[in-house]
Amino acid sequence: MKCPLVRFLKVLLLTVLVSVPFNGAAFAAEGDEPVEIYFESQSGVQPDLLGTAFFRAGALWVPAEALRLMGVPLEDGPNNKGFYIGVTDPAQRFDSPVLAQLAGRQIALYFPSLSVEGVSYFNMSGMQNLTNLDFRRENGSVVFTPNDSVRGYVQSGAVELPPISGKLTMTWEHVTLDNPNLGAQNAIPGLDVLSPTWFNLMDANGGMANRASAAYVESAHRRGYRVWGLVSNSFNAAMTTAFFKNARAMNLFMARLIIYAKLYGLDGVNIDFEGMNEADRAQFVRFVARISELLRPEGLTLSVDVFIPANTKSSRSHDRGELAKYVDYVMLMAYDEHWRTSPRAGSVASMPWVTKAVEGTLAEGVPPSKLVLGVPFYMRRWEETKANGGVKVKGYTLTMAEAEELAAKRGAQMQWLETPGQYYFTYVANGKVQKVWVENAASIERKLSLVGKYGLAGMAGWRKGHEKPEVWDTISSLMGK
């Protein structure tokens, strides 16, 4: 039995090292729930106090130093951002024999971190078996206990989702650091899939950044949404080319993709490789084909994002017809007709332009049953400045609500433009002409008429939160929900 004085000093030291006082908004985000954390090393022994953690959006964030004291081998990531955990024998730990071929006996996994008042926190939700630590809530605290699981992921609490009815509906969730609290949001009528931007290529050696959350997936499943984790190439052409030339790097990257899919309970994967060199066109197809082979035995849906057919480097790097052979869905990014740095003002997705994009993609051999029409939930305010006998244009992204508020504030009259299939308004501010081609329920309805006309698989919206809620009533009706 420990001496009371020794025990007191140990508790005091650990509390000073890893505790953060959550006594106001300065220390935590709104809605955070602080909890004391204890470590019960063996049954019947009074647990040690290890400081303070907090729940955010359903996830338990624990000080990294406290986890290290409990035996979790966390290593700091690049520039002290994120963490690495080394996994031995990943094939056994994640019940996937192919991992032995892809990764061998050892693989490093990257995890996100949060920093509060200089303390780094690790998201423990869903990581119990990976860290060999269970936890339970007890009288307003959280108590950790060791476990000896040989499996690296938790397989309990799975939700059996019904088959998708009508056309597929998806929206991308833009995640840069924190994941949103889905449980605190209103349900989205008719939505089938959320695709959070969680994973990306970190380096040419196959490193994969990770911003995923098991709590997010669990909350999505309770709402009836599937989760297809988006994985990108960080839109870095040179890094992508070097990556494609490194077979070992690609194997490790694909191994990590399988592991994260199992670890977080994903339903699918959305590949979003953009800005690649044209010379990598065929290699990208081979890469996607190999991912397809690996993910199908895991029961995961595979989709790939593609540019519209056009005479641009980015478009030519996507062989849409060939990619369609290996995926369940091809997501056509039919927006940015006038991109943010465009030299001319205009719509981000006018009806003639979108129609041509759909027809061109089908002509390249993408089956309509696999083609999903990507539509914009955003638009741009174009500011025109007269300069050197011409007009200089600058674009500012607007959400649907922001555009509506802007028109009302400026007293601008919205005018329906039949050919583009959207509303338009203009006004003058500070002597400069401002123009907005509006995306709203009416314009989305026009674009989605193409889904029925060409027998497409469904729709996907970029990005969640930029739309007004009533847009989903329109989508749900049109997509047969």
Model confidence band, residue 208 (pLDDT cutoffs 50, 70, 90): very high
Sheet containing strand 83-88, edge to edge, reads: 75-76, 83-88, 106-111
Q: Give every CB contact of residue 271 below 8 A, 6+ residues apart in sequence.
A: 231, 288, 291, 302, 303, 304, 305, 327
Residue 181 C-alpha from the chain's centroid: 14
Span 190-200, mean pLDDT? 98
CATH class of 168-378+440-478: alpha beta
Rounded CA-CA distance 6/386 in Å is: 76
Q: For 70-178, where are the alpha helices, taking DSSP H only? A: 90-93, 98-102, 128-131
Judged by phi (left if over 0) then psi (alpha if -120 to 50, else beta), residue 198 lies in: alpha
Residues carrying an active site annotation: 274
Q: For 35-149, where are the alpha helices, taking DSSP H only? A: 64-69, 90-93, 98-102, 128-131
Predicted pLDDT at 28: 63
Model confidence band, residue 104 (pLDDT cutoffs 50, 70, 90): very high
Q: Where are the domains of the chain?
A: 4-146, 168-378+440-478
Q: What is the pTM of this model?
A: 0.94
Indicate if the pLDDT at residue 42 is higher than 90: no
Indicate if the pLDDT at residue 358 is higher than 90: yes
Rounded CA-CA distance 400/420 in Å is: 17
> For 239-254, how does the pLDDT look when each residue is reduced to its tens digit (9 = 90+)?
999 999 999 999 999 9
Region of poorest pLDDT, from 114-118, 153-157, 181-185, 282-286: 153-157
> For 110-159, how does the pLDDT look when each residue is reduced to its tens digit (9 = 90+)?
999 999 989 999 999 999 999 999 999 998 899 999 999 999 999 865 67
Span 380-401, mean pLDDT? 96
Predicted pLDDT at 43: 80
Please give the DSSP secondary-structure letter assigned to residue 226.
Answer: E
Predicted pLDDT at 250: 98
Please say whether the beta carbons of 258 and 99 come within 8 A: yes
Predicted pLDDT at 157: 58
Predicted pLDDT at 44: 76
Please say whether the beta carbons of 147 and 128 come within 8 A: yes
Q: Which of 313, 242, 319 is nearest to 288 (CA)?
A: 319
Predicted pLDDT at 100: 98
Model confidence band, residue 15 (pLDDT cutoffs 50, 70, 90): very low
Residue 271, strand partner residues: 231, 304
Judged by phi (left if over 0) then psi (alpha if -120 to 50, else beta), residue 89 lies in: left
Output the six-digit token pair for 162. 């019904």
